[in-house]
Structure formats: C-alpha cells, structure tokens
Amino acid sequence: MNFYEINSKVKATESFSYKIIVIGDSGVGKSNFIKRFIDNEFKTESISTVGCALYSILYEASYFEGNHIKRDIIKVNIWDTAGQERYKSVTSSYYKGSHGIFVLYDTTKKETFKNTDDWIEDIQSYCNNEPSIMLVGTKSDLFSLKVIDTEDLNKKAEKNSKLPNKI
C-alpha cells in the first residue's frame, strides 16, 4: 500500500487504483487526449508513441466516517498505447485488468471511425473482465473537416450497446 502526503499534516493511503487504456489508430490524438486530461495541455506537434506510455494522476476523496474525516487516495493509471499495426501484438497485453477503455477516432478521417470496430473487437478478445468502454471523437474543433455524422455515430453506439462491454 502506498502512502501520499496530502499536506504537511495529513497523510493518506492509496485506497483504490484504476487502470484506463486509450486505444485507436495512429494519429487520432491519443497522447494529446491524455495530456489534456492530466495537465490541461495541448500540443499541435507531437511524436508517435512507441509501444506504450504510462501516466498517473491522483485524486483525494474526503468523507465522514462517524465523527472523523477519512481521506483516501484514488490513483488512475492511464496507458497510452501505440496505434500502429506493428505494435498490436504488444498492445493486446495492456487490455488485461483494465477498468475502462477509451476508443478514439479522428472526426476528420472516416477510416479511423470505421477502424473502431476492430479496436472494439480486440477489447472483446483480450479483456479478462468487463471494462467500461467510451467511444471518443477527437479533433472536433476542425468543424469544416468533419466527416463523421451523428447518424453514423448513433448507429455504431446502438450496435455496440448490445455487447457485454457497453459503449
């Protein structure tokens, strides 16, 4: 069990740890999605992830237990996977034990949206549990280049909502 110093007077233990993975084709913006979430940063230029990168973020949860305030630390480990086909066999091992999976596609590239079916199939094949799955469209700020329409998105969501791991 890990201990974390919340401030100079309070220490808390890591009570919960969650594994989240981010998957999708190369170039859809997985690393920027994670950096925006963790550090509220965005870089227009980034390099491709090789294999996998791990990011962690800690949250403090405070609550009353009787008359005492109890503090827990929730650790979220976010795995940034490579989208290139050559890393797919390596990536499959990262699915194991995942609590949540973000499947990303680029709203300006129809092929990446189509390929989410393959990524979701991989989840069904490789996960040893039933993680929560979320389909995420990136680059939505590029309105004039958007090629994925709401109807296609709704059809995919409806199709996949019947799976054990719902989107």
What letter would DSSP give residue 26? T
Q: How many domains does the chain have?
A: 1
Do the domain assignments include residue 109? yes
Query: DSSP secondary structure string, 63-105?
Result: EEETTEEEEEEEEEEEEEE--SGGGHHHHGGGGTT-SEEEEEE
Q: What is the mean pLDDT of residues 137-155?
A: 84
- Flag whether pLDDT at 133 surpasses 70: yes
Do the domain assignments include residue 2? no
Do the domain assignments include residue 165? no
pLDDT at 103: 94
Query: Taking Cα atoms as reference points, which of 104, 97, 96, 138 lies closest to residue 120?
Result: 104
| CATH at 120 | 3.40.50.300
Band (128; pLDDT cuts 50, 70, 90):
confident
Band (167; pLDDT cuts 50, 70, 90):
very low
Burial of 130 (0-12, 13-18, 19+ CB in 10 A): middle
Do the domain assignments include residue 39? yes
Do the domain assignments include residue 65? no
Does 167 or 46 have the greater pLDDT score? 46
pTM over 0.85: no
Do the domain assignments include residue 152? yes
- Written as six digits, the tokens of 98 are 């995942």
Do the domain assignments include residue 72? no
Range of the domain at 150: 19-52+85-160
Does 124 or 41 have the greater pLDDT score? 124
Band (64; pLDDT cuts 50, 70, 90):
confident
Do the domain assignments include residue 64? no
- Flag whether pLDDT at 147 surpasses 90: no
